[in-house]
Chains A and B, each alone.
Chain A
């Protein structure tokens, strides 16, 4: 069981990490309207808006071999390390100029143009090789696929193990509880509503600390009774757990309905009360109802002993 939990935890962690990785790159590009990433095949021409108030930094994928500006009097171009350039217009009314850049793998021509406002100027432009990016994405996708397949295989194995182990676990649990307490007691509390639906708490089966309250619904109304809720109430507190219900109705239980009792028919159900020891000797109410609380029947004085 511990290994299964570990696999599930690692699966969740991996899925989260993958999601973060996949989303991180577009997020970076979208952090600011003044940052831009350009994918380049081999070369191309691109327009970049600049402003005297800002320094615009160009990031290139590898070492810059050549950087030629057409107007060095109006634009200041300085290298920052081997792969970056800082550009700043020197005049507010500088005319558009071109900047030719060449690295080991790409050649691009950049048209520098003064932005009407500083907010429209770019502060960061990153050039990336499209084929490298595609390769990175392909490798990530392949890695994710491989890891997903591996986890799916582990889950399948775990599922098989659980399918085999769960009955044993359940058997062991039941056996332990049987050793703790096993007893059937009659209840016999019965009540009806104005629509002639009669509900009887017939007996309770104790299995360890848990109590299984068996109830029967006799629908003597002319309309089907659609059981939607079952409560075991001690005052306002509801102690009902799992509910199971069977009847001879042909109608299938729809959404929000536990079971259906046809007109003139009967059905039987069980509601589990966990840790019933706290409720022994108390007068409980078994409350059953249709959707929206219609057709409610409250069987009072259900006493577990």
Chain B
């Protein structure tokens, strides 16, 4: 996904005609709502768990060129991943295998570049990287219709830090000189810093206020 996004970025920069693009010297603040599809790993399972997530995000940007803007975003995401099967065993306890779910809340701070390829209708491509903190709840394991306790699974809630890369493709519409609305679809890939991997597919809708700061 990251390679694909990088290639798209190169294509976008080359394809941007001179004079077209976004708006030099404009700053903006964006408010996003997110819908996502989670794919997370877990030590108890060889296969990744998946599930829906939702969240909100805020983004601030500033453009030094017409064709792109620098931005910084913070996102909050909450969801629950379901695993088909996992094996849990606390010390001194027999191993138990069964389906389980893990609740996840993540906060992501990333910065990057958004290429803006239009004036009224604005196709966008955003590439960003940052850090993500992820709170994983204790796994909810059901074996034979019985819910296992933390003592039986040997797992409690934990927190892990990820390095994360984000790529989004979107389409904005400039309603007026101040208001821009848009939607985007994208993905994030989190490289765990001592934990399990995490990936998301995301769709966002946003409204943004643009102005020229002095």
Which residues of chain A have a CB within 8 Å of any CB of chain B? 188-194, 196, 198, 200, 218, 220-221, 264-266, 301
Contacts and interface: CB of A to CB of B under 8 A. Distances in A.
B25 A196 contact: no
Contact of A190 (B19, B25, B174): B25
B23 A192 contact: yes
A189 B177 contact: no
Contacts of B3: none
Interface in B124-181: 174, 176-177
B177 A194 contact: yes
Contact of B174 (A189, A196, A266, A301): A196
Interface of B: 19-20, 23, 25, 119-120, 174, 176-177, 212, 214
Given A190-B25, A193-B177, A194-B177, A264 B214 contact: no
Contacts of A196: 119-120, 174
B123 to A, nearest CB: 15
B19 A192 contact: no
The residue in A191, A193, A196 that gathers the most chain B C-beta atoms within 10 A of its C-beta is A196
Contacts of B212: 190-192
Contacts of B20: 220, 264
Nearest to B17: A264
A198 B214 contact: no
A193 B119 CA distance: 12
A220 B119 contact: yes
B19 A264 contact: yes
A284 B214 CA distance: 14
A198 to B, nearest CB: 7
Contacts of B176: 194
A192 B25 CA distance: 11
Contact of A189 (B19, B23, B120, B214): B214
Contacts of B177: 191-194
A189 B214 CA distance: 7
Contacts of B174: 196
B18 to A, nearest CB: 9
